[in-house]
């Protein structure tokens, strides 16, 4: 990070809007990507990527998030370990530690390496496997060194300790060290696949889970390896663990297996027994008498009977990536990385609506003629349900298992935007035909139907069709060639397009466009005669057809992935925090309902670090003369403003376009209350 090295003449642009808390996180969908599990002082911790750290005081019955102290954006936790009453968390960028059961975290000083994948200890030694080699501390984590002598591959994934030796799994084979990680020797003889995802030990035997070769076993500290994966259907094994003297292994495609004969043969342990179908398991960890399985998207499950039955242990874990949403007659559907969920009570509860689904990344949902279609980016094409998700069937005849970006419909027709063009079905998805005539690029990212016209966005621009995709033509002028069109809506007789560099409008059905708002936008909807947009991390609404916009962002500091309206609520999906909602009745008159805060408060700016703009929010419970100052790192005032404000909550936009990178301080004073916080501009 660069500190400010020079002071230059600049202009600060501030715009203030009154705002109020309205966005509320719903109860789910629960789950997320669980990469690590550890027990420390009777408290269970789970590491999510993204999502940070969660903890449970009842062995997984209930969870709360505890990631205070992690750097902004550094919430991809891939390793957890308890040592000397300290819990360590390894992320893709750093190693963190907490001495107070996860209440507060701090970066471990002097740590070297990034992408921490595993942590182990022996005596006063701590070892961390990273994507830069192995980092070692010989003094209980006070100082760290990295010695990779002999390692021919620095992408390290797992560590096993045996007979005062370290055995290391890398993406280029197995290695052993007899001197606490100073020197390494290759021990890959017999391994037909050198990319090792994980390792575990049972007695004197070492087992290696490989990416493409299945399971291998060594009975002599890795001097020789032999295949030991008979019965495992797919050879990409992600994780291994020993529980109650039984070996467990998780492969990428079919689930979790177990072996009671030291790996001579494996049987499936996840079939109709409480675990979601075809789970993708990132980690297996035994602790507190429970075998925990951390899953892609599906969160965490546990078994106390060696996999005969599994318990859903996700209560309170809301780190799901919601890729798509759909309202259907009061029911809200949400497509995530692994499942489709539904809520019939405005997000108070969520249920599985995934019967028959066996794929990943449900990128789009669309309803037509009493049927719901789901497009995937996991190589499965399109699914269809006629009973609100109780059961889905794959409908890919003529389409193939290609990536689906969006689905729309016209009367009697279904259209799919894919990475290989536009496809069309005239029989409810039972068969598909190519409908890309006129498109100069077949990577179609968006397809929508508005006011009798089909629109499709490709990597070479926006197209439209007035004859059900028999022929596509460029959609007029006004939108620059390199502008990505993300979403569209028809509102008050005009078309609006949410694009990467702003909101565009057309009064002639897309024959020509003009820029209406110059902030990049990903989602746009029409609600109660208003436009609502999301520019990834912020929301705005307009009551005058996009001429001016008001912020409606309080309570929401995540990245919006989808935006819909259902009954009395606007719903936003996020990429790592489930679904949020906003009561649409609160803006029915065009103004956000006034709620007077109880206390004076200066909030942390968002985003932070930022480039070039950020937002500073403050609360005043009484009318006050409000003084805001900005300082450089030398303590010199570079901006000062004094305004009389009514009681309320306010947000200030800070534009640092003309500033050098570095740290700044901003202070807030009102009625004797004072507070100061830091913000960092990075260019």
For the chain, the farthest-separated pair of C-alpha atoms sits apart, in whole angstroms, at 77
545-586 pLDDT tens trace: 888 888 887 667 778 889 999 988 999 999 889 999 988 876
> Over 60: is that where the pLDDT of 679 sits?
yes
The angle formed by the CA atoms of residues 99, 105 and 108, to the nearest 5 degrees, is 85
pLDDT of residue 272: 54
SS (H, E, C) 572-607: EEECCCCEEEEEHHHHCCCCCCCCCCCCCEECCCEC
329-348 pLDDT tens trace: 999 999 999 899 999 999 99
pLDDT of residue 15: 41
More confident site: 202 or 271: 202
> Over 90: is that where the pLDDT of 368 sits?
yes
Average pLDDT score over residue span 157-174: 93
- Confidence class of residue 10 from pLDDT cuts 50, 70 and 90? very low
Q: Please state which of the ranges 79-83, 170-174, 633-637 shows the lowest mean pLDDT.
A: 633-637
Nearest to 251 by CA among 224, 214, 198: 214
Q: How far apart are CA 131 and CA 92, in angstroms?
A: 9
Q: Please state which of the ranges 33-37, 144-148, 239-243, 272-276 shows the lowest mean pLDDT.
A: 272-276
pLDDT of residue 592: 36
- Confidence class of residue 593 from pLDDT cuts 50, 70 and 90? very low
Residues in Cβ contact with 32 at an 8 Å cutoff, skipping those fewer than 6 apart: 48, 50, 51, 297, 299, 317, 318, 319, 320, 321, 576
Q: Which CATH class is domain 16-20+599-681?
A: mainly beta
Q: How far apart are CA 398 and CA 432, in angstroms?
A: 5
pLDDT of residue 660: 80
Query: Cis ω on the peptide bond leading into residue 609 (within 30° of 0)?
Result: yes
- Confidence class of residue 3 from pLDDT cuts 50, 70 and 90? very low
Instruction: Please compute, for residue 51, the number of CA atoms within 13 A of its CA located in the half-sphere on the CB side.
Output: 33
- Confidence class of residue 270 from pLDDT cuts 50, 70 and 90? low
Query: Cis ω on the peptide bond leading into residue 50 (within 30° of 0)?
Result: yes
Name the CA dihedral angle for 236, 238, 244, 247, rounded to a multiple of 10 degrees.
20
- pTM of this prediction exceeds 0.85: no
pLDDT of residue 291: 92
SS (H, E, C) 311-322: EECCCCCECCCE
292-303 pLDDT tens trace: 999 999 999 999
> Over 70: is that where the pLDDT of 395 sits?
yes
φ and ψ at residue 642, rounded to 5 degrees: -135, 115
Sketch the domain layout of the chain as residue ranges.
16-20+599-681
Tokens 């489709």 — which residue? 340
> Over 70: is that where the pLDDT of 19 sits?
no
77-123 pLDDT tens trace: 999 999 999 999 999 889 999 999 999 999 999 888 778 999 999 98
The answer to whether residues 44 and 287 touch, using CB atoms and an 8 Å cutoff, is yes
Average pLDDT score over residue span 353-379: 92
215-263 pLDDT tens trace: 999 999 989 999 999 999 888 999 999 998 999 999 887 789 999 999 9
pLDDT of residue 271: 61
Q: How far apart are CA 585 and CA 363, in angstroms?
A: 29
């Amino acid at each position: 990070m660069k500190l400010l090295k020079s002071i230059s003449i600049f202009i600060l642009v501030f715009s203030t809007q009154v705002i109020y808390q309205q966005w509320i996180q719903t109860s789910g969908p629960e789950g997320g990507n669980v990469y690590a599990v550890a027990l420390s002082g009777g408290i269970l911790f789970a590491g999510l990527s993204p999502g940070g750290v969660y903890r449970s005081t009842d062995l997984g019955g209930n969870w709360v998030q505890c990631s205070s102290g992690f750097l902004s954006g550094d919430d991809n936790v891939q390793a957890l370990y308890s040592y000397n009453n300290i819990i360590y968390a390894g992320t893709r960028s750093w190693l963190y530690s907490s001495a107070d059961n996860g209440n507060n975290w701090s970066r471990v000083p002097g740590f070297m390496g990034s992408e921490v994948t595993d942590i182990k200890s022996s005596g006063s030694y701590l070892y961390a496997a990273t994507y830069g080699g192995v980092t070692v501390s010989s003094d209980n984590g006070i100082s760290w060194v990295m010695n990779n002598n002999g390692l021919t591959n620095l992408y390290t994934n797992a560590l096993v300790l045996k007979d005062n030796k370290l055995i290391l799994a890398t993406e280029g084979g197995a290695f052993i060290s007899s001197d606490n990680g100073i020197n390494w020797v290759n021990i890959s003889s017999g391994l037909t696949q050198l990319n090792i995802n994980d390792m575990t030990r049972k007695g004197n035997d070492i087992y290696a889970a490989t990416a493409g070769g299945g399971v291998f076993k060594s009975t002599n500290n890795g001097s020789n390896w032999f295949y030991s994966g008979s019965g495992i259907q797919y050879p990409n094994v992600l994780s291994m663990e020993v529980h109650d003297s039984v070996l467990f292994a998780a492969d990428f495609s079919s689930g979790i297996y177990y072996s009671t004969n030291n790996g001579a043969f494996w049987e499936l342990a996840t079939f109709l027994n409480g675990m979601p179908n075809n789970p993708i398991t990132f980690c297996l960890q035994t602790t507190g008498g429970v075998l925990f399985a951390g899953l892609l998207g599906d969160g965490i499950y546990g078994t106390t009977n060696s996999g005969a039955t599994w318990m859903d242990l996700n209560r309170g874990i809301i780190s799901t990536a919601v890729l798509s949403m759909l309202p259907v007659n009061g029911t809200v559907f949400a497509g995530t990385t692994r499942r489709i969920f539904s809520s019939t009570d405005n997000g108070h509860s969520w249920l599985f609506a995934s019967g028959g689904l066996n794929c990943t990344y449900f990128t789009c949902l669309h309803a037509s003629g009493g049927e719901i279609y789901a497009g995937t980016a996991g190589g499965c094409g399109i699914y269809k349900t006629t009973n609100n998700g109780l059961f889905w069937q794959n409908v890919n005849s003529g389409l193939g298992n290609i990536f689906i970006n969006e689905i729309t419909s016209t009367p009697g027709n279904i259209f799919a935007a894919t990475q290989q063009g536009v496809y069309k079905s005239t029989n409810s998805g039972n068969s598909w035909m190519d409908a890309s005539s006129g498109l100069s690029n077949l990577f179609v990212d968006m397809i929508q139907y508005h006011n009798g016209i089909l629109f499709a966005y490709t990597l070479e621009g926006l197209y439209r069709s007035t004859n059900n995709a028999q022929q596509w033509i460029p959609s007029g002028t006004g939108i620059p060639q390199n502008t990505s069109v993300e979403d569209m809506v028809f509102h008050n007789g005009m078309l609006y397009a949410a694009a990467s560099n702003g909101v565009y409008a057309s009064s002639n059905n897309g024959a020509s466009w003009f820029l209406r708002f110059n902030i990049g936008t990903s989602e746009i909807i029409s609600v109660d005669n208003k436009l609502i947009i999301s520019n990834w991390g912020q929301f705005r609404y307009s009551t005058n057809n996009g001429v001016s916009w008001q912020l409606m962002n309080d309570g929401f500091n995540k990245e919006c992935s989808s935006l819909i309206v259902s009954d009395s609520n606007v719903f936003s999906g996020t990429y790592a925090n489930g679904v949020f909602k906003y009561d649409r009745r609160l803006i029915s008159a065009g103004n956000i309902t006034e709620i007077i805060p109880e206390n004076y408060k200066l909030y942390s700016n968002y985003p932070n670090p930022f480039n070039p703009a950020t937002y500073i929010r403050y609360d005043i419970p009484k009318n006050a003369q409000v003084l805001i100052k900005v300082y450089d790192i030398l303590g010199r005032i570079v901006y000062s403003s004094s305004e009389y404000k009514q009681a309320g909550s306010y947000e200030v936009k800070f534009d640092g376009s003309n500033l050098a990178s570095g740290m700044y301080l901003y202070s807030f004073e009102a009625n004797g209350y004072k507070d100061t916080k830091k913000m960092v501009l990075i260019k």
